[in-house]
Each structure stands twice: as structure tokens, then as C-alpha cells.
Amino acid sequence: MSALFDTQAPGYDGDLFHPLVAGTLVDGLVRRPSLLVDVATGTGAAAFAALRLAPESVLAVDFAPAMIARAREKAAALDPEGRISWQVAPAVPLPVGDGEADAVVCASALHFLGAAALADWRRVLRPGGRLAFSISLAQRLRRDGPMGELMPRDLCIPATAEEAAALATDAGFTAATARTVTSDEGNRVRQVFAVFAEG
């Protein structure tokens, strides 16, 4: 399965919607976390954005080696202090101990991970830790083709911000809020829900 994502790595950074979503999610987190975990990092958009929170460390995880390789190449310029650790690993379960993370961020990948990811994020977050993730709108997500076949069916894709926030509260998170992130770059409207919650 990772091979399908590996093939996308060379052109992944040309999509400006990814950094927009990643930046929106990071801006909803607290400053100076001890450990921030970026789940399904891709080529690192959220991990690099997280550096502006002045974290002690960032763990960026993706199961596609080519995505991590591309992120490491970019890190020479974008993370010269080496605060980000890059790891090829599955997103569920995360290679993080129980209650070790102050923040978890996941940009545009939950629909590939399924409900098990939400439970695992609760596991790794310390009490009061912050979660930020994005999820496609039901009206815009296609579940056909090679990518669609990879999407678990145990997650309700939300049609409203209220339904998006409920993904977090139903998984045991508190203080969940959601809002729509929209881009009309190149005359193509793209939207996701950005969800913020507390562990």
C-alpha cells in the first residue's frame, strides 16, 4: 500500500492546499509543546509548520519511505536545528508511549486511517494534550478508484462541522470544535474540516 503513496512523493509539494491545511491545524495548537507528533506527515508540511510553536521536539511519522525521504531533503533548509525526527512507521499504532505527546496533528489522512487512529491518538496524548486533524467533507470525498479502495469504512465522513467535531467527542476527546478550510486556487474549490480537541 505504501508504494502507491511513494509514487506521489515527487509532485506532492506542488499542491499548495496541503501547507494551507497543515498551517491551519498547527495554528490551533498550544505553543512550546514538549513533544508534537505529526501523523501521516507526507513530505512534512505540518511538521515544518509546527516549528513555529517552538516545540522541544517533533516526531513525524509516515509509512511511505519516499515521502519521508523527500521530507528529510527539505529539512536541511527548513529545520537546520534538527528538531524534527523522521520515522518510517505505521500511523496506527504510533511509535509513541502512552501519554507521551503534548500534541498530535494529522493533516488530511484520517480517512485513510479509520477510527482506530482516533483511539490511538487518545492513547499517546497526555491528559489535556491537544489534537488537531483535518477530514474531507462527505460531499467532496470520492471513495472509488485505487485510493478509495484504501479507505476504511468504519469512519463516518462528516457532512457538517458539527459531525466533524463529533468524530472527536465520540472517540472520547473533549472541547471539540470544527471549521471549514477552503481554497479556490486555480479555480478549483477544495474544502476540508479542521477539527480541534483536547485529550
**pLDDT (tens digit per residue) in 50-69:** 999 999 999 999 999 999 99
**pLDDT (tens digit per residue) in 142-188:** 666 555 556 677 898 999 999 999 999 999 999 999 999 998 876 78
pLDDT confidence of residue 138: 84
The architecture (CATH level 2) of 2-198 comes to 3-Layer(aba) Sandwich (3.40)
Q: What is the mean pLDDT of residues 6-32?
A: 80
Helices (H), 125-160: 145-148
Those residues with Cβ within 8 angstroms of residue 91's Cβ, 6 or more apart along the chain or in another chain: 39, 40, 61, 62, 63, 106, 109, 113, 117
Predicted TM-score (pTM) of the model is 0.89
Taking 3-state DSSP, the helix, strand and coil percentages for the chain, each rounded to the nearest 5, stand at 35, 25, 35
174 Ramachandran zone, left/alpha/beta (phi>0; psi -120 to 50): beta
Most distant CA pair in the chain: distance in Å? 44
The residues spanned by each domain of the chain are 2-198
Q: Please, what sign has the CA dihedral across residues 139, 140, 142, 143?
A: negative
Give me the chain's average pLDDT, please.
90
Burial of 97 (0-12, 13-18, 19+ CB in 10 A): exposed
